[in-house]
Amino acid sequence: MHKLRILITVPFSISIIIGCTEKAPVQPNLSPEIFSIVTSTVLTDYRLPVVLFCVAYDFEFDPLSYLWSCTSGNFLGGATNDTVVWQGAKPSGTDTLTFTIAAEVTDGHSNTRDSLQIKAVNGDLYYDTGEPFVDAPDTYGLYNGVWDAGEVFFDLPSSRSNPAVGDSLYEFPTLNGSYDNTNGYFDEYELFTRPGDISIDPTWPILYTYNVYSHGADWQTNFWLYDTLHSTWTDRNSDGLFEPPW
Ligand SMILES: [Ca+2]
Ligand SMILES: [Ca+2]
Ligand SMILES: [Ca+2]
Ligand SMILES: [Ca+2]
């Protein structure tokens, strides 16, 4: 009984093995490779779009499809090309928001994913100083660091608006003849002012980087551009242009 079973099964097994070796071997698919995601910047003002480019390759020359995603913000013009334009959401106040941007590439068989982080800031940082003035001592010889009626001040141009964000109401800043105190708004002269060190000279609580007697006439032609000699604001996205936080 046992001898009979061996005689039947052994030739059958050999025929299966021979049949397999005759077939062409199945090549596994090679997944597409993402070499890098190239970005125009990793730190931006949230109002400024960022261009991203996914550098991907398929070693079998399969056609590639792209799909981008982000934790927040929008892809202007779609998210299915190798190059996309992304714009972040608005951070609150002067916060910095971090976004993760991901690209997924497929050759129709398998996917490859890569991502990077972009930080978005809500404008550049300036000092809300009010116009520079000469503080006067009280009867005890002390300076209070704030402008009081009668103290000498230097009138500087201001319009409290900004062409950098397409403000159509922008008017060239003009002198108004009165003292402008700290007001919670951005005034153009605040590109060039910062609180002074009262321990150095208490009569000048606000430092101004141009000649105060010129009343702004000696400002650079384009005062929105960062100027290492005179600008007192922080260019948080390093684009050399002032974007006020609002
Ligand atoms: Ca004072
Ligand atoms: Ca004024
Ligand atoms: Ca102000
Ligand atoms: Ca800037």
N- to C-terminal Cα separation, the chain = 94
- Say if residues 50 and 87 touch (Cβ distance below 8 Å): yes
Examine the fold and report which residue of 71, 99, 121 is the final residue of a domain before the chain moves on.
Answer: 121
Going by pLDDT thresholds of 50, 70 and 90, the confidence category of residue 47 is: confident
Find the 150 Cα to ligand 1 centroid distance in Å.
9
CATH code of residue 95: 2.60.40.10
Query: Which tokens belong to 144?
Result: 């209070």
Find the 139 Cα to ligand 3 centroid distance in Å.
30
Examine the fold and report which residue of 121, 142, 161 is the final residue of a domain before the chain moves on.
Answer: 121
Q: Does residue 5 lie within any of the structural domains?
A: no
CB under 5 Å of ion ligand 1: residues? 135, 144, 148
Find the 155 Cα to ligand 4 centroid distance in Å.
26
User: Are both 208 and 238 inside the same structural domain?
Assistant: yes
Render pLDDT for 98-120 as a digit per residue (tens, 0 to 9). Answer: 999 999 999 999 999 999 999 99
Which residues face 86 on adjacent strands? 50, 75
Find the ligand nearest to 191 CA. Answer: 3
Q: What is the pLDDT of residue 107?
A: 96
Find the 230 Cα to ligand 2 centroid distance in Å.
20
Q: Does residue 225 lie within any of the structural domains?
A: yes
Q: What is the pLDDT of residue 169?
A: 53
Going by pLDDT thresholds of 50, 70 and 90, the confidence category of residue 92 is: confident
Find the 172 Cα to ligand 1 centroid distance in Å.
30
User: Are both 138 and 224 inside the same structural domain?
Assistant: yes
Find the 49 Cα to ligand 3 centroid distance in Å.
28
- CA 131 – CA 56 distance, rounded (Å): 54
Which residues constitute the domain of residue 220?
A: 124-246
- CA 212 – CA 230 distance, rounded (Å): 13
Render pLDDT for 147-186 as a digit per residue (tens, 0 to 9). Answer: 999 999 999 998 876 555 555 455 678 899 999 999 878 8
Q: What is the pLDDT of residue 162?
A: 56
User: Are both 95 and 176 inside the same structural domain?
Assistant: no
Going by pLDDT thresholds of 50, 70 and 90, the confidence category of residue 50 is: very high
Q: In the predicted model, what is the mean pLDDT of the chain?
A: 86
Q: What is the pLDDT of residue 6?
A: 43
Find the ligand nearest to 234 CA. Answer: 4
Q: Does residue 23 lie within any of the structural domains?
A: no
Find the 50 Cα to ligand 1 centroid distance in Å.
46
Find the ligand nearest to 130 CA. Answer: 3
How many domains in the chain? 2
Query: Which tokens belong to 34?
Result: 């993402």
Query: Which tokens belong to 227?
Result: 């100027």
Q: What is the pLDDT of residue 22?
A: 58
Q: Does residue 90 lie within any of the structural domains?
A: yes
